[in-house]
Amino acid sequence: MSWNIWALKKSPWVFHVNTGACNNCDIEIVNCLTPKFDVERFGIKLVGSPRHADALLVTGAVTAQARPRLEEVYRQTPKPCVVFAIGACACDRGIFHNSYHVVGPVDKIIKAIDPDAIIAYVPGCPPKPEAIISGVVKALAVL
């Protein structure tokens, strides 16, 4: 196992990207960081730059406006990284499925620029903090 995969599994630093979410999924991600759920005890740390991140937590169905920002953030993230699609919108556009301004979902946009990208899905509208933590832990366990 290479050192960067080892670091990703043991202490993933995450960067949060909102690509047009209604903010409920974002609130649940923030909830994971609060003392009640305290994901830092698992080594999961929120960072302020994709250049420092091992994983991306992406919410939202990806609007046309957000697409170039998501692509740029992904390019800036060191590889290998895991992209977590958090919530029904990020997984498959959810309630915004037929919206004129939506170009997602997340996997379609990321795979278009990197076919080897690692994508993990955490469904729910919004997913509970327990589901987000469980999804992150399970996905990292199979790397």
Q: Which of 55, 85, 89, 136 binds ligand SF4 (CB under 6 A)?
A: 89
Residues in 92-111 that interact with ligand SF4 by CB under 6 A: 94-95
Among residues 12 and 105, whose Cβ is nearest to ligand SF4? Answer: 105
Among residues 44 and 88, whose Cβ is nearest to ligand SF4? Answer: 88
As measured in angstroms, the least distance from the Cβ of 1 to ligand SF4 is 33
Q: Which of 60, 105, 129, 135 binds ligand SF4 (CB under 6 A)?
A: 60
**Three-state secondary structure of 36-68:** CCCHHHHCCEECCCHHHCCEEEEECCCECCCHH
As measured in angstroms, the least distance from the Cβ of 37 to ligand SF4 is 17
As measured in angstroms, the least distance from the Cβ of 116 to ligand SF4 is 26
Residue span binding ligand SF4 (CB under 6 A) among the ranges 6-14, 33-41, 72-80, 87-95: 87-95
Q: Which of 19, 59, 63, 77 binds ligand SF4 (CB under 6 A)?
A: 59
